[in-house]
Amino acid sequence: MTATPEIIIPAIAEDGSLFPIEKMEAHRIAQQHLAISAFVFSGSRLLIQQRAASKYHCPGKWANTCCSHPHWGETVENAATRRIGEELGISVPLSKTSVFEYRADVGGGLIENERVHVFVGHADETGLAMSLNAEEVSATRWVEVSELPALLAGQPDSLCPWFAIYISHWDELNLGQ
């Protein structure tokens, strides 16, 4: 359960400028940094993923379709497209809907302090062939958006902290659902 130490992501300075930081260091010191979250829908159903057991934080927990970070020098748009391909083996057109900030303790002395660029995509779940990256994702499922609050209320420990935050602030994400 280790992360690759050389991944460099864009962090946010107090003056709003960006600077490069190693991903694990950003999480250890709770440095605010850029992130992406993608939500892929089929009608009123959201594709969610269960994180692989080998992930360095939140292993085995459920999250929205895809969450990650842009590399230093990479646009958030490219990062979102790249990561849904790398994690799920899919290519879905994505549209940026909002920017959302949160801070969450993800265990192991790590803090997510993220400025998240939120993306939405639409796909036909019956025709969407996925090829899961076993190092990232152990399972996926489609969930009715209307069932998400009950999932949060009934099984909060099964969800990644950020997914619980997203469900609690659903309308602020401007997902069109």
Catalytic site residue from 66, 67, 112, 160: 67
Burial 84-107 (b: 16+ CB within 10 A, else e): beebbebebebeeeeebebebebe
160 is catalytic: no
What is the spatial distance between Cα 167 and Cα 154, in angstroms, rounded to a whole number?
Answer: 13
Catalytic site residue from 58, 87, 112, 114: 114
114 is catalytic: yes
Please list, in sequence order, all residues whose beta carbon lies within 8 angstroms of the beta carbon of residue 17, skipping any fewer than 6 positions away: none
Residues designated catalytic: 67, 114
